[in-house]
Amino acid sequence: MKKTLLAASVAALAFAAASAAPAGAQDKISACLITKTDTNPFFVKMKEGATAKAEELGIELKSFAGKIDGDHETQVAAIETCIADGAKGILLTASDTSSIVSSVQQARDAGILVIALDTPLDPIDAADATFATDNFKAGELIGQWAKAKLGADAENAKIGMLDLAVSQPTVGVLRDQGFLQGFGVDLGDPNKWGDETDPRVVGHDVTAGNEEGGRTAMENLLAQDPEINLVYTINEPAAAGAYEALKAIGREGDVTIVSVDGGCPGVQNVAEGVIGATSQQYPLLMASKGIEAIAAFAEDGTKPQPTEGKDFFDTGVSLVTDQPVDGVDSISVEEGTKLCWG
């Protein structure tokens, strides 16, 4: 009888201990970071910022990434995993900003805070909040700089546009259209690229945001017009590829390339004359602020608010160049190097 009671007591204690462990685990706040890729230095720095802030605040962070920029299916699967895991918040840089909306809605319906990082969803209010660079302004700055740099020659410019993807994610559209407006090109529908009628625009091609894509896109546009003298690029890896294509035909010295990102390799390329100017954004800040927002939401349901006068939380942008022009605010390469990432 004593043995039976002892066994029952041990079993009861074991059951209580087993029950207590999951309860404690469930009390831990969990969050997900889903980026376009895990190789682009921009997203590497984003993950670094999210990870550091999550560790500081005691949040369990799980990270996911597409195989390549544009890998929509992997991002959908990641959202489904986060829902199943009971995540409190998701930080997302969407590859397909409209197709992902239904999956995002499923997460929000499950009580998960969804914050878009860098790339607004289409529509932007499909996410609870957006923490991003003002990508239109980023494009506008390099457009204004390029126009001033070319001076009187701007009226006869031949512009090659190296965009991101044929799906035209919002980040790509905003940068492209911002650049064109900054340069003085009349826009068609500002919600898409490729419909402008200004003869100075030779054409658009897509790069997938990487160096190989940049080189191929530049070669394609040069085949349309070998006298292109100004190149807009969606990011600095694409700019590096464009430069290699120009170098292969001996034109690297007489074509101006502008870009967006502000990663350390890109800023170094500005220093070396590969890129004339780049708009620097701050991915670490986007991600760390996103984790802070998830922590606040988990505590009392508070949702982040946008910057006054905008429909997103603006994490800032600066033009980096060692060739400043009148009327366009910029910082030097030395200053940009102190703030760069990657």
Cβ partners under 8 Å of residue 131, min gap 6? 115, 116, 117, 118, 286, 289, 290, 293, 304, 312, 313, 315
> 45, 341 in Cβ contact below 8 A?
yes
Cβ partners under 8 Å of residue 4, min gap 6? none
Q: Which helix (H) or strand (E) holds 155?
A: none
Of the candidates 212, 283, 204, the one whose C-alpha atom is nearest the C-alpha of residue 245 is 212
- pTM for the model: 0.77
Predicted confidence (pLDDT) per residue in 122-159, tens digit: 999 999 999 999 999 999 999 999 999 999 999 999 99
Query: How many Cβ atoms from other residues are within 10 Å of residue 205's Cβ?
Result: 20
User: What is 46-77 written as a DSSP string?
Assistant: HHHHHHHHHHHHT-EEEEEE-SSTT-HHHHHH
Assign residue 48 a region (left: φ > 0; alpha: ψ between -120 and 50; beta: otherwise): alpha
How far apart, in Å, are the Cα atoms of 21 and each of 11, 17, 83? 16, 6, 21
Per the DSSP assignment, residues forming a β-bridge with 314 are 132
pLDDT at residue 252, rounded to an integer: 96
Distance CA 95, CA 66 (A): 8
Predicted confidence (pLDDT) per residue in 247-270, tens digit: 999 999 999 999 999 999 999 999
Q: Which helix (H) or strand (E) holds 216?
A: helix 211-224
What does the block give as tokens for 153? 């020659």
> 64, 304 in Cβ contact below 8 A?
no
> 88, 302 in Cβ contact below 8 A?
no
Distance CA 129, CA 217 (A): 33
In three-state secondary structure terms, 213 is: helix
- Which residue ranges form the domains of the chain, and what is each CATH number? 29-133+283-305 (3.40.50.2300), 135-280+317-339 (3.40.50.2300)
Look-up: residue for tokens 């001076």? 151
Cα dihedral 277, 283, 132, 193, rounded to 10, equals 50
Assign residue 86 a region (left: φ > 0; alpha: ψ between -120 and 50; beta: otherwise): left
Q: How far is CA 129 from the centre of its chain?
A: 15
Per the DSSP assignment, residues forming a β-bridge with 320 are 278, 331
pLDDT under 50 in the chain at which residues? 1-26
pLDDT at residue 19, rounded to an integer: 36
Of the candidates 242, 115, 118, the one whose C-alpha atom is nearest the C-alpha of residue 175 is 118
* Burial (Cβ within 10 Å: 0-12, 13-18, ≥19) of residue 189: exposed
Look-up: residue for tokens 């170094």? 268
Distance CA 171, CA 135 (A): 6
